[in-house]
Amino acid sequence: MVTMGAKKMILVVDDSPTERFFLTDLLKRSGYGVLTAENGEDALAKIRLERPSLVVMDVVMPGSSGFQVTRALNRDPETQSIPVILCTSKSTETDRIWGLRQGARDYVTKPVDAEVLLAKIAELVRSKDARHV
């Protein structure tokens, strides 16, 4: 299930209820459907079941980190086409490069600039749709 009606479904993965609420509210107000997960294991299960259009993922979480989950998604032929944006407080250039090497399509730091994040999501969803036409 990729969409609900015409809405693109985005999975928000963050162990912080405050961040999940902020991102969910932002995305819903922008016309996206939203699923949430509190950790990497929950995210992997939901991604395999729901096939979201895109994943916005924190890096620092209990259990599997966002880096580990992104690498697992990128190595699995069933999920490697789902773009991941890492959304984290880890703001060094080394962290950004490592995240991109794990397969993330983009990397944004917290506190999130809503306009920047929405632009990155729109671009990735459009380019994913273009590849599947």
The crossing angle, in degrees rounded to 10, of helices 93-101 and 66-75 is 30
**Beta strand extents in the chain (DSSP E only):** 3-4, 7-13, 33-37, 54-57, 84-88, 106-109
48 vs 46: CA distance, rounded Å: 5
**pLDDT for residue 66:** 98
Q: What rounded mean pLDDT belongs to the chain?
A: 93
The percent of residues above 70 in pLDDT, for the chain, comes to 94
pLDDT tens profile 42-83: 999 999 999 999 999 999 999 999 999 999 999 999 999 999
pLDDT of residue 2 exceeding 60, the answer is no
> What pTM value is reported for the model?
0.93
34 vs 7: CA distance, rounded Å: 9
pLDDT of residue 4 exceeding 70, the answer is no
**pLDDT for residue 6:** 60
CA distances from 72 to 9, 12, 43, 69, 94 (A): 20, 17, 11, 5, 20
pLDDT tens profile 92-114: 999 999 999 999 999 999 999 99
**pLDDT for residue 7:** 84
112 vs 114: CA distance, rounded Å: 6
